[in-house]
Amino acid sequence: MSEQKDLQVIVDPELCQGHNRCKAIAPKLFELDEFGHAHVVGDGTVPPGLESKARLAEANCPEFAIKVAQA
């Protein structure tokens, strides 16, 4: 049996330009600051069932500011 690894989302603040696609796609994973730039909720750990939303947010970021990695 394979052991399921936790995923984590990471936002690079140097690359984020505030398009907010990630927040629209996965509002439980991202929050916005007063300038509209994204930050991860909590420590960025992706809860079970939201893995596909995390990957979709990563794929839809026009600035490539979001990464999804094994925690």
Domain locations along the chain: 7-70
- Residues 46, 5 contacting (CB under 8 angstroms): no
For position 33, what pLDDT does the model report? 97
How many angstroms separate the CA atoms of 69 and 41, rounded? 15
Query: The whole model's pTM is what?
Result: 0.90
pLDDT at 32: 97
| CATH label, 7-70, candidates 3.30.70.20, 3.40.50.1370, 3.40.50.1110, 1.10.20.10 | 3.30.70.20
pLDDT at 34: 96
Please say whether the beta carbons of 41 and 31 come within 8 A: yes
Q: What is the pLDDT of residue 5?
A: 78
pLDDT tens-digit profile of 15-67? 999 999 999 999 999 999 999 999 999 999 999 999 999 999 999 999 999 99
